[in-house]
Copies of this chain bind each other. A is one copy, B any other.
């Protein structure tokens, strides 16, 4: 309501100001996670007034969701949905997260909040995000089945949920025990069910009967 009070210059300035605040918030969460972050404490740390922060973000939940959404938008790549298969895709994303543990914490906070009644906005964001990511990975599974890499009797949606879950859960365990958990190596065990590349025949693992081999890949 207070936004866009008529003058185009003011509107543009408002957008710019909002982006700056989001930059600071992402930077703050990257360094410290988002636990115990209230609008008031965030305003204090990033040096804006509580009123200014509330002008752009109506609640703590709105700020956390927008910060995470913006972080993902900046780091998403226009990826070929089928590039490298579902496991390779998640492994790359997990690799990128290694350098921003604070945002993995933020993600865990959003997910835990989403399970609680008191956070409807967070819930909506996390639900939609899970549905989208599962949809993309299911596509990659279907592609792998078309190319004969992935067994035809694997349900793409069940497999997609598994890959997302494994990646999320492994990152949490890694944050708590960086020396004891290797996200990539554990994830790569899933390659045995959902291969990203054609399987090479080996004495221990004969190729599945009926694998099409060289169909030229759609």
Interface residues of A (CB under 8 A from B): 32-33, 35-36, 104-105, 108-109, 111-119, 123, 126-127, 130-131, 134, 151, 153-155, 157-159, 161-162, 164-170, 172-173, 175-177, 180-182, 185-187, 189-190, 192-193, 203-206, 208-210
A115 touching B159, Cβ below 8 Å? no
> With A111-B112, A176-B114 given, is the CB distance from A186 to B159 under 8 Å?
yes
> With A161-B186, A169-B165 given, is the CB distance from A204 to B35 under 8 Å?
no
A177 touching B131, Cβ below 8 Å? yes
Q: Which residues of B contact A180 (CB under 8 A)?
A: 131, 134, 157
Majority secondary structure of chain A interface residues (helix, strand, loop or mixed): helix
Q: Which residues of B contact A111 (CB under 8 A)?
A: 108, 112, 172
Instruction: Tell me the number of copies of this protein.
Output: 2
A/B interface sample: 23 pairs, CB < 8 A: A35-B112, A35-B113, A109-B115, A111-B172, A112-B112, A114-B176, A123-B176, A127-B176, A131-B177, A154-B189, A158-B185, A159-B189, A162-B166, A162-B170, A162-B187, A164-B173, A165-B169, A165-B172, A166-B169, A168-B168, A189-B193, A192-B192, A192-B193
Q: Which residues of B contact A167 (CB under 8 A)?
A: 165, 169
A161 touching B176, Cβ below 8 Å? no
B116 touching A112, Cβ below 8 Å? no
> With A151-B204, A169-B169, A185-B155 given, is the CB distance from A36 to B115 under 8 Å?
no
